A and B are shown apart, each in its own frame.
Chain A
Amino acid sequence: MSGGEVDTIARLANDNAWLLHRGRFLDVTFLLGVGDVPYLVRIHRGRIESLQRGPFVQPRWTFALRASREAWATFWQPVPPAGFHDLIAMIKVRALTLEGDQHPFMANLRYFKDLLALPRPARGATP
């Protein structure tokens, strides 16, 4: 995995009118950890305003989702194996950690599940 998947998230999200609609009450900055590379994702009214790649000196975020590069790569497979097919599943199998204030994440859980699954190719698509 090159990290290219993360870079596609902002474009795919901002092109998705239904996702933006569902996120219209959401204003938050969260940290996405891919191995030792942190990304800060700033969301305003459901739209990705910025997606910055670290390292950061003093990052500020409301919650953080961190997993290894391998775990995210597995999550983004067209048909991921059990345990890596869903964010909550990855938390259950200890492949993903959720830190910080969970409220915006849980209150908008479908939004975040859909957002982070955006790099996953459609089933049957050529990887």
Chain B
Amino acid sequence: MSSAGKPQFEPAIGRYLRLDIAGRPHRLYVEEAGAGIPLLCLHTAGADSRQYRALFNDADILARFRVIAFDLPWHGKSSPPAGWQGAEYKLTSRAYVDAIMAVVDALSLDRPAVIGCSIGGRIVLHLALEHAVRFRALIGLESGAHADPYYDLEWLHRPDVHGGEMCGAIVSGLIAPTAPEADRWETIWHYMQGGPGVFKGDLYFYTADGDVRGRVAEIDTSVCPLYLLTGEYDYSCTPEDTRELARRIKGAQVTIMEGLGHFPVSEDPAKFLSYLRPVLAEIAERDV
């Protein structure tokens, strides 16, 4: 009956990390694999670090990079802080930067590279403004300085609409029509699993609190290089939004990715890696 073979484990190891963020105790889920330059991965709003499965399974990347991803508090297998039930969840720029820097410090990461998508693509701009010397490179996917909401965000969290169905359906169109079916629906599933109000709370950062239009011109890419990659089919952060951002930042490198949408890492990993590899090669070469 049993086919006695070696279990087919993937390379990633997941653990729970105890740490304080802004003075509050937290329990975060962290995955890592590979060795070399630390590469910290930041998931999109309302999702979790499973989005980065392609990087965690790529032998070439793992040979040169220590790939690390954590679920933000409230997301994936990370818990919300004790007392969460007493207030609406709203992600702020301050809380997001604090969480990232707390993880960098807790893991003693030496000038990691950071790759972040959507809200993660926005927060790398904040990192570039506030903590550039702590990072060796920043990669913003679907990164713009601001986003206007194009639907009423109240639909995401109300008792007469199923939150998981709503979040999955609202983001489904942000995936390019050419994405492989399995990866498309894996991406949507992550959204269907988010906690009530979490995606909406993240979008508070994305559409209001995290607006950095007035500050991005101060980013100094000679201190920390900035790469911006945006998918052709993304209508949340459009290619034009990213080009507009890049026009304001001297030295930012822009790539518009054909046939990809708002979740390039997760929706079509093979296509995305063809765009990411040259960026990682540049980062690795600079390190020599």
A residues whose Cβ falls under 8 Å from a Cβ of B = 79-80, 82-83, 85-89, 91-93, 102-103, 106-107, 109-110, 113, 123
| With A92-B235, A106-B155: A79-B177 Cβ-Cβ less than 8 Å | yes
Instruction: Pull 28 A–B residue pairs with CB atoms less than 8 Å apart, ordered by A.
Output: A79-B178, A80-B177, A82-B232, A82-B233, A83-B235, A85-B176, A85-B177, A85-B233, A86-B172, A86-B173, A86-B174, A88-B170, A89-B173, A91-B151, A92-B150, A103-B161, A106-B155, A106-B161, A106-B166, A107-B161, A107-B165, A107-B166, A109-B165, A109-B166, A110-B168, A113-B169, A113-B172, A123-B177
Interface SS of chain A = helix
Whether B282 is near chain A, meaning CB under 8 Å from some CB there, is no
Which residues of B lie under 8 Å from residue A85 when comparing CB positions? 173, 176-177, 233
Q: Which residue of A lies closest to B155 (CB)?
A: A106
Which residues of A lie under 8 Å from residue B150 when comparing CB positions? 88, 91-92
B 267-278 to A, binary, CB cutoff 8 A, 1 in contact else 0: 000000000000
Query: Chain B nearest CB: distance from A76 CB in Å?
Result: 12
B 124-167 to A, binary, CB cutoff 8 A, 1 in contact else 0: 00000000000000000000000000111001000011100110
Query: Chain A nearest CB: distance from B241 CB in Å?
Result: 12
Q: Which residue of B lies closest to A106 (CB)?
A: B155
Contact of B173 among A79, A87, A102, A123 (CB under 8 A): A87
Known contacts A83-B235, A85-B233, A89-B235; 6 additional CB pairs below 8 A are: A79-B178, A82-B232, A86-B172, A102-B152, A106-B155, A113-B172
| With A86-B172, A91-B150: A123-B162 Cβ-Cβ less than 8 Å | no
Structural contact, B173 and A113, CB atoms closer than 8 A: yes
Most buried by B among A79, A82, A83, A91: A82
Which residues of B lie under 8 Å from residue A82 when comparing CB positions? 232-233, 235
Which residues of B lie under 8 Å from residue A92 when comparing CB positions? 150, 235
B residues whose Cβ falls under 8 Å from a Cβ of A = 150-152, 155, 160-162, 165-166, 168-170, 172-174, 176-178, 232-233, 235
Q: Which residue of B lies closest to A107 (CB)?
A: B161
Which residues of B lie under 8 Å from residue A80 when comparing CB positions? 177
| With A79-B177, A79-B178, A92-B150: A110-B235 Cβ-Cβ less than 8 Å | no
Structural contact, A103 and B172, CB atoms closer than 8 A: no
Which residues of B lie under 8 Å from residue A86 when comparing CB positions? 172-174, 235
Contact of B178 among A93, A113, A123 (CB under 8 A): A123
Query: Chain A nearest CB: distance from B181 CB in Å?
Result: 10
Which residues of A lie under 8 Å from residue B169 when comparing CB positions? 109-110, 113
Which residues of B lie under 8 Å from residue A89 when comparing CB positions? 173, 233, 235
Which residues of A lie under 8 Å from residue B151 when comparing CB positions? 88, 91
Query: Chain A nearest CB: distance from B203 CB in Å?
Result: 14
Complex Cα distance, B169 from A107, in Å, reads 10
Query: Chain A nearest CB: distance from B148 CB in Å?
Result: 9
Which residues of B lie under 8 Å from residue A110 when comparing CB positions? 165, 168-169, 172
